[in-house]
């Protein structure tokens, strides 16, 4: 006789798996960017099940040793083997269920319209939408965002949606609404594509906020953030272009009134810097040349993007540092 899986130490396996999915949704929305993905790693759950099996086996061996004289050890050993096999089978079965089943979100289960799929309720896996932390433009800082609504939108755009859940390759497109808990301002809307157990940010209502280093001047800060957003969205050339625009605009700001353009404006800007900055730290002239060459040759060079990003920040850090040191050297009143 097989032992009931409910008697196993992993008593709330559905909750464990559901929480795993919820945690991965949180990581996706907090740490990934537009069109980036993550795949759920199920190994920790499987490994935990194996540990539970080993613990049960050790306890059974102790019980067998204590019952040797009673003659019931053979029966107990047979039950224990079935117990271990049944638990492993149960864990894998439930994992496959969650991987293949359509997901529905607990918060919105009672307020969503009736499912267009006959009998779909039998197969849905209920997931708890996580609270996430995002930058709130209204509060001007990162705040907790509460889930307001979540639904699989894909069935509404298919003439015959039943086939979406008839294979093992389950696909869903979730519309998720999140609202700042501090100010209750207009919700952020995410579009998340699920293919089996791979999650991808397919869209969002507002472009993500990028924190710009304090040393980057406000006049050119937007080009820095635009470069990062473009790069993280897979548009490497656009990212390189925005970095070049940043350098060009810095040259234009300093050379204002000189009627200089492009590299001439940048050379003028470099001439205004302290010798220590020009000689020891990344030059905007060199960075501009590297970016221009990559753009003109359509070279989607990711390493160049990262190196230019670091060099631009180092340039501004050095400029600020030596400016402050020079300022301290001057007598007061001058």
- 224 & 263 share domain: yes
Query: What is the span of the domain harbouring residue 239?
Result: 218-329
Q: Is residue 210 part of a domain?
A: no
**What's the pTM?**
0.69
Q: Is residue 211 part of a domain?
A: no
Query: The tokens of 245 are what?
Result: 């625009």
Q: Say yes or no to pLDDT of 290 above 50.
A: yes
Average pLDDT of the chain? 80
- 256 & 315 share domain: yes
- 155 & 188 share domain: yes
User: 198-204 and 188-195 as β-strands: parallel, antiparallel, unpaired?
Assistant: antiparallel
State the average pLDDT over residues 116-131.
65
Last residue of a domain, one of 50, 75, 100: 100
- 50 & 79 share domain: yes
- 95 & 109 share domain: no
Per-residue buried b or exposed e for 44-64, using 16+ beta carbons within 10 Å of the residue's own CB? ebeeebeebbeebeeebeeee
Instruction: Using CB atoms within 10 Å of the CB of residue 1, give its burial: 0 to 12 exposed, 13 to 18 middle, 19+ buried.
Output: exposed
- The predicted pLDDT at position 107 comes to 65
Q: Is residue 209 part of a domain?
A: no
Last residue of a domain, one of 152, 181, 204: 204
- 82 & 10 share domain: yes
Q: What percentage of the chain has pLDDT greater than the value 90?
A: 40
- 127 & 67 share domain: no
Q: Is residue 213 part of a domain?
A: no
CB 254, CB 273: distance < 8 Å: no
Query: The tokens of 237 are what?
Result: 């050339």
For residue range 301-334, list pLDDT tens digits in order. Answer: 999 999 999 999 999 999 988 887 766 666 665 5
State the average pLDDT over residues 162-185.
82
State the average pLDDT over residues 76-90.
55
Q: Say yes or no to pLDDT of 158 above 50.
A: yes
What torsion, rounded to 10 degrees, do the Cα atoms 303, 306, 307, 313 define? 170
- 243 & 261 share domain: yes
Q: How far, in Å, CA of 6 to CA of 10, rounded? A: 8
Q: Say yes or no to pLDDT of 155 above 90.
A: no
- 71 & 113 share domain: no
| Structural domain count, the chain | 3
Q: From the CA atom positions of the chain, what is the Rg in Å?
A: 29
- The predicted pLDDT at position 227 comes to 95
CB 104, CB 92: distance < 8 Å: no
- 89 & 134 share domain: no
Q: Is residue 334 part of a domain?
A: no
- 180 & 224 share domain: no
For residue range 215-230, list pLDDT tens digits in order. Answer: 999 999 999 999 998 9
Q: Is residue 267 part of a domain?
A: yes
- 152 & 71 share domain: no
Last residue of a domain, one of 56, 80, 100: 100
Q: How far is CA 64 from CA 52, 57, 69, 75, 238, in A?
A: 18, 10, 9, 10, 69
Q: Is residue 212 part of a domain?
A: no
For residue 187, what pLDDT band results from cuts at 50, 70 and 90?
very high
Q: Say yes or no to pLDDT of 162 above 90.
A: no
Q: Is residue 264 part of a domain?
A: yes
Q: Say yes or no to pLDDT of 56 above 50.
A: yes
């Amino acid at each position: 006789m097989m032992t009931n899986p409910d008697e196993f130490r992993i008593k709330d396996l559905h909750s464990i798996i559901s929480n795993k999915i919820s945690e991965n949704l949180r990581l996706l929305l907090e740490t990934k960017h537009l069109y980036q993905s993550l795949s759920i790693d199920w190994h920790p759950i499987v490994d935990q099940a194996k540990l539970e099996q080993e613990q049960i086996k050790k306890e059974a061996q102790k019980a067998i040793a204590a019952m040797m004289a009673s003659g019931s050890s053979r029966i107990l050993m047979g039950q224990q083997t079935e117990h271990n096999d049944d638990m492993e089978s149960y864990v894998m079965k439930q994992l496959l269920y969650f991987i293949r089943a359509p997901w529905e979100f607990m918060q919105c289960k009672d307020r969503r319209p009736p499912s267009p799929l006959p009998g779909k309720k039998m197969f849905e896996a209920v997931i708890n939408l996580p609270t996430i932390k995002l930058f709130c433009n209204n509060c001007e800082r990162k705040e907790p965002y509460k889930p307001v609504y979540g639904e699989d939108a894909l069935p509404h755009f298919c003439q015959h949606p039943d086939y979406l859940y008839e294979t093992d390759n389950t696909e869903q497109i979730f519309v998720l609404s999140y609202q700042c808990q501090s100010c209750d301002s207009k919700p952020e809307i995410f579009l998340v594509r699920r293919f089996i157990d791979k999650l991808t940010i397919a869209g969002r209502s507002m472009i993500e906020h990028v924190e710009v280093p304090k040393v980057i001047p406000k006049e050119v800060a937007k080009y820095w953030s635009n470069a990062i957003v473009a790069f993280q969205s897979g548009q490497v050339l656009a990212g390189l272009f925005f970095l070049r625009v940043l350098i060009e605009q810095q040259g234009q700001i300093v050379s204002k009134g000189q009627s200089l353009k492009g590299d001439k404006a940048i050379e003028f800007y470099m001439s205004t810097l302290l010798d220590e900055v020009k000689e020891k730290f990344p030059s905007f002239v060199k960075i501009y040349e590297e970016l221009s060459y990559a753009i003109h040759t359509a070279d989607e060079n990711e390493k160049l993007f990262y190196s230019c990003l670091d060099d631009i920040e180092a340039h501004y850090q050095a400029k600020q540092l030596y400016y402050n040191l020079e300022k301290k050297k001057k007598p007061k009143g001058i």
